[in-house]
Amino acid sequence: MRTAVSWFDHLIFESVETNQRDGTPASSFIQATWPIATNERLKHAVTDVVRGATGQAHGYTPFRLSRWFEALDAITADVAYRHTNGAARGLVLVTASHYNSMKLRRTLAGRDLTIRSYVTSVSSSSLEVRTDALQVDEQGNEYLVNVCFTAMVACDKATMRPCKGAVPPLVLPPASDSEEASAANERVELARLHKEQQAAERAIQMSRCRDGSQPPTTEEMTAVHELHRAAVAAKSSPAPRHDLPEEIEMQTHESATVVFPDSRNVHGRAFGGFIIRGAYDLAYLAARYFTRGQLFVPVGIDDAIFVQPVAIGDMVRFTARVVHSGEDGVFRVFVTMDVIEPTDPDRLPQRTNNLMFVFAASPACRRTVLPTTYPEILMHVKAARSHAARGLSPTVRGDLEAFFRESQGAGSDSG
C-alpha cells in the first residue's frame, strides 16, 4: 500500500539556531532545501500534474506552486518570530497578506529547490518578509525562480490588536563584515526599490478592497461595455461561431470542507498554508477548465489577504472565478474563502480570505472573459488593474514564448 509523503518534513533547514537578537537580517534568516534530486518520493509529492510537449512533467513549472505557498507561509512566520523574539515576549505574529509573488525563471525539473526567507523592512507593529526560491543551473550558478513578499503583524496576545513598538528596528551589519554587509545592503536596497514601486499601487488597491470602495471609472465601464457589444455581435453571427466570450458565471467553481485539528497553527487557528493551498488548488482547477485542455503556466499571486482568523471545526467554502484574461494570454483567478454557519443558514457567509492567482496560456489560445453582474464587474476591473500594473518581466515573457513554441502541436493537457 502506498504511503503519503510528508513533503514539508523533507525540508532540510540550513540556518544556524542562534539566541543572538541583534536585529540584523542574518539573525532571523532561514534557509531550507527540498532535496528533490535525490528523493524520488518527494519529487513525486511536489510535482505539477500538467504535462509538456514531451509528455514529461510540466516544462516551465514542474514544481507544484501550492507547496511553495504552503511552505513560505510557515517559514515567514518563523522568521517574524525570530526577529521579534515573539515567543518569549508573548506576542502573536499573524499573516496580513502574501503579495507580489511571481515566476522569474523556469523551474528545472528534478533539481533541488532552496527557499530563503528574511526580513526586508519593519515598522512599529509590522514587518515585511521576503522569500526567495532558488535553483542551481548546470554551470553551478544559483538563480531566482520565484519570489514572494509577506506582511506580518505583531499583536498583543490578550487583545489580538496590533502592538505598537513590538517590532525591533532592522539593523544593518557593521561595514567591516563586508560580505554580510554587502548582501544585507543589497536586500534592503531591493526592498526599498520594491516599496517605492508598489506603495502607491497598494494604497489604491487596499482602498478599493474596503467596503465603500471606489466604483469603476468611466474608461473601465466603457471597456466592459465593449466586451458586451463584442459578445452580442459574436452570438448574432452565423455558425460556426468563433471567439465567443466565457461568462464568469460559467467559469466559477466551488469546494467546501471542515477545518480539522491537523490544520491548526501554533495559535489554535487554521494554518495559513492550509488556506492558501486549498485556494490555489481550486484556482488551478478553474484555470485548467478555462483553458480547455491547452497548456497553461502558474505564474504567481497578486495578493492573498487574510481578513480574519478561521477556527478549528469551521465549515469553509472556497469559490474560484476566472475574472480577467489579457491579450497576452495572462489570466487571473479570484478565490474567496468564507465560513458557513450551519446553525444559522440564512446568515451571509463570513469572508475570511481574498486571493488573486495569476496564470498564463499561449496568446494564440486566449479566451475572453465576460462579467455579467455588478459584483463580477468589480472583480473583473480589479484584475484588469493588476494586469495593467504588473506586467510580466521580459525574461519571463521570453521564457513563456519559448515554452509555448516548444509545446506547439503537442501541448494538449494529458493530465
User: In angstroms, rounded to a whole number, what is the distance separating the alpha carbons of residues 86 and 97?
Assistant: 19
What pLDDT was estimated at residue 321? 98
Q: What is the CA radius of gyration of the chain?
A: 22
Our CA angle for 145, 283, 242, nearest 5°, is 105
DSSP-assigned letter for residue 310: -
Which residue stretches of 19-117 are H helix? 25-28, 40-45, 65-84, 86-89
What pLDDT was estimated at residue 383? 95
Residues with Cβ within 8 Å of 375's Cβ and at least 6 positions away in sequence, in order, are none
User: In angstroms, rounded to a whole number, what is the distance separating the alpha carbons of residues 272 and 263?
Assistant: 9
What pLDDT was estimated at residue 407? 76
What pLDDT was estimated at residue 414? 35
User: In angstroms, rounded to a whole number, what is the distance separating the alpha carbons of residues 276 and 382?
Assistant: 20
Peptide bond into 349 cis (omega under 30): no
- Work out the angle between the directed axes of helices 374-389 and 218-236 (0-180°, nearest 10): 110
Q: Are 320 and 335 in contact (CB under 8 A)?
A: yes
Place of cell 465603500: 212
Residues with pLDDT less than 50, the chain: 1-5, 52-57, 197, 200-212, 411-415
* The model's pTM: 0.86
Residues with Cβ within 8 Å of 407's Cβ and at least 6 positions away in sequence, in order, are 52, 53, 59, 295
User: In angstroms, rounded to a whole number, what is the distance separating the alpha carbons of residues 332 and 311?
Assistant: 29
In degrees and rounded to multiples of 5, residue 159 shows phi and psi of -100, -20
Place of cell 478549528: 312
Residues with Cβ within 8 Å of 404's Cβ and at least 6 positions away in sequence, in order, are 295, 361, 362, 364, 411
User: In angstroms, rounded to a whole number, what is the distance separating the alpha carbons of residues 259 and 272?
Assistant: 12
Grid coordinates representing 179 are: 560580505
User: In angstroms, rounded to a whole number, what is the distance separating the alpha carbons of residues 300 and 148?
Assistant: 9
- Write the pLDDT tens digit of every residue in 61-114: 678 888 889 999 999 999 999 999 999 999 999 999 999 998 888 888 788 999
What pLDDT was estimated at residue 153? 95
Strands lying side by side in the sheet with 252-258: 12-13, 30-34, 113-122, 126-136, 142-156, 91-103, 296-306, 350-361, 330-340, 315-325, 252-258
The dihedral over CA atoms of 108, 113, 118, 120, expressed in degrees to the nearest 10, equals 10
Give all domains of the chain, ordered by start, each with its CATH number.
1-196 (3.10.129.10), 219-415 (3.10.129.10)
Task: Label residue 349 exposed, middle or buried (CB < 10 Å: 0-12, 13-18, 19+).
Answer: middle
How many residues are listed for the chain in this entry?
415
What pLDDT was estimated at residue 11? 82
In degrees and rounded to multiples of 5, residue 412 shows phi and psi of -70, 150
